[in-house]
Amino acid sequence: MRCRRLGFQEVHVDISRLHRVLKIITLLQTRRHWGPEELAQELEVSRRTVYRDLNMLELAGIPFYFDRAKGSYSIHETYWLPPINLSLDEALSLIALADVSSGSPAAVPLLEKAVDAVRKIESRLPLGIRDAVGRLSQNISVRRAPQARHVHLEPIYETARAAAAARQTVRGRYISFAERKQILATVDPYWLVFHERAWYLVGRSHEHREIRTFKLGRFAELKPTGERFKAPTITLDDYLGNAWRFIPEGREYDVQLKFLPLVAAN
């Protein structure tokens, strides 16, 4: 039996390049300013790599073009999926959230995928809304506080998330700030909480025999033990109670303060 070759001869595409090419398609559909420099920065590759990826789009028959007046690439509006019906205010709010999240998505698991999802939604906005968003977004900036960065956080987070969903105990090496040393922590992961700048694992510590809060970024490693645990009988709000900055402080008191009239009026 003779086999007919389809497409190009000996084309080898690795997964990372395929991911980049698909992301380029999504970005170009947003109608924002995506020139070679902006694409290289967004994809974290060289301009030369961007040109190679664009050449791959051209070979695949993707209908994109370079607008010399704007100095950016775009994809023809009839390509891909039907548009999503959002108002200009709704679209701007969504894009602003994506821009805030894209500052350091690696520091916050789920954000990178959330940003990609918003870009896909943006790419399918009606043409008029996309053009307006592209113009207005250049003059809108939302700044957020720096996030704790941990190179190894993604696999730690995924392990904790899966274990919490399956109600499986986890064990790992943890850098204890209170004890000032690395300890072996065995935890029943009840809740994963993002608070202010970092992720925390809240669960029952087998070593301390009580619910404790662990900063996820301080785990050097984390693995499921295979043991199962029962769901907690309290909620996260019950545990936190009157917590100050996420750390439960114990007993609550009623306090009355007196101020001078000038201070009270302020």
In 3-state terms the chain splits into helix, strand, coil percentages (rounded to 5) of: 40, 20, 40
> Is 38's pLDDT higher than 80?
yes
Average pLDDT value for residue range 22-34: 80
Beta strands in 68-180, from DSSP E residues, in sequence order? 72-75, 168-176
Confirm if 83 and 133 have CB atoms less than 8 A apart.
no
Q: What is the CATH number of the domain that holds 171?
A: 2.30.30
Domain containing 103 equals 81-145
Q: What is the CATH number of the domain that holds 26?
A: 1.10.10.10
Number of domains in the chain: 3
Q: Which of 145, 161, 189 is the last residue of a domain?
A: 145
pLDDT, tens digit (0-9, with 9 covering 90-100), for 69-90: 888 888 876 665 556 677 777 7
pLDDT, tens digit (0-9, with 9 covering 90-100), for 89-99: 777 777 776 66
The mean-pLDDT minimum among 107-111, 183-187, 205-209 falls in 107-111
pLDDT, tens digit (0-9, with 9 covering 90-100), for 1-12: 444 444 444 344
pLDDT, tens digit (0-9, with 9 covering 90-100), for 181-206: 899 999 999 999 988 778 899 999 99
Residue 255 lies in a domain: no
Of the two residues 7 and 238, the one the predictor is more confident about is 238
> Of 67, 61, 144, nearest to 98 (Cα)?
144
- Residue 220 dihedral angles phi and psi, to the nearest 5°: -75, -30
Residue 124 lies in a domain: yes
Please check whether residues 106 and 52 belong to one and the same domain: no
Please check whether residues 134 and 201 belong to one and the same domain: no
> Is 135's pLDDT higher than 50?
yes
pLDDT value, residue 1: 40
Q: C-alpha distances in angstroms, 106 versus 73, 102, 103, 149, 153? A: 27, 9, 9, 7, 8
